[in-house]
Amino acid sequence: MKGGKGKGALRKETRSALKPVEDRKIGKRKATLKDDKRKAKKDKKAKKDPNKPKRPPSAFFVFLEEFRKTFKKENPNVKAVSAVGKAGGEKWKSMSAAEKAPYEAKAAKRKSEYEKLMNAYNNKQPESSDDDGEKEESERSKSEVHDEDAEGSGQVLLFFSPIK
């Protein structure tokens, strides 16, 4: 659609630059963030985001979801997550754009929802700084006050899990 295709060559170069990323052993990312990045639970208040919009699954994941089913069905003996990942990845690359289309379509849809969540999330988190006249007042509160009656009713009790 948009003409310009001179990016072909550049793309390849970027790929090279990104290569190092592949070089590095993966699996380190999680290990590091495990330290306390996303968890950040620690004893401090980790409640940074009340509603954290989780990243929507990419086309690959959507495909994987179905692939996992099939893969497991034919290989019930395989219990390694990495096995499915590798197999799925290999097949995924083998698929044509046309086959990926349906998956990508779903991925595109996810963006719509994600964007919506982000909007709400955006309303609260961002911005910072600037001492100028930043006044953040939540007016939405007056909108819905709801009675706390229903909330403090039985839900709290349910939280208790006697069985351990």
Residue 59 binds DNA, judged by CB under 7 A: yes
Non-local (6+) Cβ contacts of 68 within 8 A are 84, 88
Site for DNA (CB under 7 A): which residue of 2, 82, 98, 148?
82
- In the complex with DNA, the residue whose CB is nearer, 45 or 142, is 45
Site for DNA (CB under 7 A): which residue of 2, 9, 39, 158?
39
Q: Which stretch binds DNA (CB under 7 A): 43-51, 56-64, 129-137, 145-153?
A: 56-64
Burial 136-161 (b: 16+ CB within 10 A, else e): eeeeeeeeeeeeeeeeeeeeeeeeee
- In the complex with DNA, the residue whose CB is nearer, 21 or 145, is 21
Contact call for residues 134 and 126 (beta carbons, < 8 A): no
Q: Which stretch binds DNA (CB under 7 A): 30-38, 42-50, 133-141, 151-159?
A: 30-38
For residue 97, give the amino acid letter.
A
Site for DNA (CB under 7 A): which residue of 3, 5, 9, 31?
31
Residue 30 binds DNA, judged by CB under 7 A: yes
Contact call for residues 56 and 110 (beta carbons, < 8 A): yes
CA distances from 72 to 19, 58, 94, 102 (A): 31, 21, 19, 22
Distance, in Å, from the CA atom of 103 to the CA atom of 60, rounded to the nearest integer, reads: 7
Total residues interacting with DNA, rule: CB under 7 A: 50
C-alpha gyration radius of the chain: 23
> What are the residues binding DNA (CB under 7 A)?
7, 10, 13-14, 17-18, 20-21, 26-27, 29-34, 37-39, 41, 54-61, 64-65, 68, 72, 79-82, 84-86, 88-90, 92-93, 104, 107, 111, 114, 118, 164
